[in-house]
Structure 1
């Protein structure tokens, strides 16, 4: 349930409601909106009627939430959540683009990519230091050296940095170097890892699982938010279907659907969704038109020599041209880019 406090309720009244909830075994999560404070409460639904919350000073109303995901739902927070990372704002009026190579391969490769994407208008730099690969013989990433290079690129360009964490070891290293922790599709239902990134205090980019339903995706976000971390960016990256012409099937209908169900920002990864650089531009434009708050795009200085996902990576020139096209689409749907 959510307890909606009166907009003029002082801090003492808010704390009294939180204390009452906790006394009765509920886990309380204050959510500060523009006009009022809402307290999300997770616990035994049967006990709601006996709490007497409606009669407490400062309480405007109590709203039961029927969906299995509570804190990430629109019922818990009507306003859009805006995740702010450095100079980037994901979920606001603007379009936030995160770009860079699939994997950090070398200092020269990453710095060149960072300079190029920054110059074209990206606000975040992506780069994998730990690479979960299908084959154990594929490039697995530079690990801590890759994280150091991401931090160096951030210092030079001012870009916020995003990298994937795959376990407790990589998480403990990544929090020391990068701005946003990415949970990849393979780990969307690694519930222990979700809880750990929830406790990290860092913003989290949560990719949809390979075959996950929208509800399962939002429940994964609920794991993170239940640990007190509301800085969550949802990323649609395509799901696995019987179609084999593309790497995955990009579910763009999920963008407006999830935005109607949840207050969290939603971005789209057209690179992993299609696996083909020829399709990245059209799907990126379509994602913006569908209401995506941002994009996650792979860009490599020389895709032909990439150690990971070269066929779906744009060249810097292609990315710069796409950014110009995205500005036009964003303007047409009332967004800045």
Structure 2
């Protein structure tokens, strides 16, 4: 159930609605939008008499949300898009289409520093890089852990780019959130509900990747675990699903973009690197994603892909990134969006 407050509703009126929700045995969650405030009543309200809510001071209307994902549903915000901010120049869900770029893994202090400089020069708005790496092979490179987080923080200090990095376990959430501007939940942890809950209890934005075998409904219901714990700053990320097709690493479902935007208010970005597994396909899929309405991109970029510790085959070079950013600006303009390079944005701030 969603309680839509009248424009200009006072804190006292909002608190009154929250009290009524608790008296019904439900959990309240306030969502403040650009034009209105809604209070979500979380729980099973099917047997509750909610008529009293409609008469409460400051209430405009009460709506029942039929979708099982109450907080993620588009009805929750009155069809308004949620905006998630990593920095002044990296905001997802608005007209701008930010690009998160960098290597799959943090490979060393000099390597990540140079990568940060290069992706910023290309125009990227945030730096990605894994300090902790979940690997299918237990003998593969697992990342530098906290030392890797410190390297990312140093790169942010020099370049000003916010950092996005993956968290693997609930016990690591506090540590990663000390360093990162955005916590990433990867496909292998997409239904690790304790991790989702732990990320929901901290305030940093969460970039949540779709599970490789998840349906759209399962994806949004899992995202609900983060939202229900009080963190509204969730960025959905389509990174490809597992199908019978074998010419790509995964099958990149670009149709997920308009479908998710129909069902949910959360911003949705595309990862064409994991979505295809081949660097040669990344530019085309990145451009197609922006044309489809994606709210951002996550792209793997490496100075020397042939010698990358992880995912070199799907990493484009800095030179390729330069050319791609130019083309992304053109595509964005064609669909009434913007993909302004970060240096240009900094000149406008």
What is the total number of aligned residue pairs between the two structures?
Answer: 337
Residue 56 of structure 1, CA deviation: 1.3
Give the superposition deviation at 1:330. Answer: 0.5
1:117-196 map, 5 Å: 117-196=119-198
CA distance in 1, matches of 2:207, 2:46: 34
Q: Which residue of 1 aligns with 2:106?
A: 104
Aligned to 2:6: 6
Q: Deviations over 1:113-140 (max 9, x none)?
A: 1001011111110000111001001111
Contact 1:130–1:170 at 8 Å: present in 2 too?
no
Instruction: Kindly provide the CA deviation profile for residues 158-217 of structure 1, in whole angstroms up to 9, marking residues without a partner as x.
Output: 001000011134323211111100000010100000000000111100000010000111
CA offsets 1:272-313 (integer angstroms, 9 cap, x no match) = 010000000000000000000000000011111100000100
> Aligned with 2:19: secondary structure?
helix
Q: Distance in 2 between matches of 1:103 and 1:10?
A: 47
Contact kept, 8 Å, 2:238 with 2:271, in 1: the verdict is yes
Matched residues in 2 for 1:185 and 1:50: separation? Answer: 38
Contact 2:126 2:163 in 1 (8 A): yes
TM-score normalised over the length of structure 2: 0.95
Structure 2 gaps, min length 5: 340-349
Aligned-partner Cα distance in 1 for 2:266–2:62 = 22
- Matched residues in 2 for 1:13 and 1:247: separation? 52
CA shift at 1:70, angstroms?
A: 0.3
Structure 2 Cα separation of the partners of residues 324 and 50 of structure 1: 53
Q: Quote how far apart the aligned CAs of 1:219 are.
A: 0.9
Aligned to 1:335: 337
- Matching of residue 74 in structure 1 with residue 93 in structure 2: no
Contact kept, 8 Å, 1:233 with 1:266, in 2: the verdict is: yes
2-structure distance, mates of 1:8, 1:169: 41
Name the CA distance, whole Å, in 2 between partners of 1:267 and 1:291.
Answer: 9
* Secondary structure class of the residue paired with 1:76: helix
Return structure 1 stretches of 4+ with deviation > 3 angstroms.
none
Question: What's the Cα RMSD here?
Answer: 1.0
Report the Cα distance in structure 1 between the residues aligned to 2:172 and 2:111, rounded to whole angstroms: 22
Q: How does 1:21-36 map to 2 (within 5 A)?
A: 21-36=21-36
Q: Distance in 2 between matches of 1:111 and 1:16?
A: 51
Q: Hey, what's the Cα distance between the residues in 2 that align with 1:192 and 1:319?
A: 36
C-alpha contact 2:4 2:59 (8 A) present in aligned 1: yes
Between the aligned partners of 2:149 and 2:203, the Cα distance in structure 1 is 18
Q: Once the two structures are superposed, what CA deviation does each residue of 1:18-44 show, in whole Å capped at 9, x if it has no partner?
A: 111112211111111222211111123
- Taking the aligned partners of 2:55 and 2:338, their CA distance within structure 1 comes to 45
Are the equivalent residues in 2 in contact too, given 1:100–1:298 (CA < 8 A)?
yes
Distance 1:51 1:26, change over 3 A: farther
User: What does residue 245 of structure 2 align with?
Assistant: 243
TM-score by length of 1: 0.98
Native 8 Å contact 2:130 2:143 kept in 1: yes
SS in 2 for 1:216: helix
- Superposed counterparts of 1:51-62, under 5 Å: 52-62=52-62
SS in structure 2 of the partner of residue 235 of structure 1:
strand
Aligned to 1:272: 274
Q: How far apart, CA to CA, are the structure 2 residues paired with 1:140 and 1:43? A: 39
Is residue 18 of structure 2 the alignment partner of residue 18 of structure 1?
Answer: yes
CA contact (8 A) 1:80 1:264 kept: yes
1:220-241 deviation line (CA, Å, top 9, x unaligned): 1100000000000000000000
Equivalent in the alignment of 1:313:
315
Alpha-carbon shift at residue 51 of structure 1 (Å):
5.1
The CA deviation string for residues 54-108 of structure 1, in whole angstroms up to 9 with x for no partner, is: 1111111110011000011111012111101123101111011000000000111
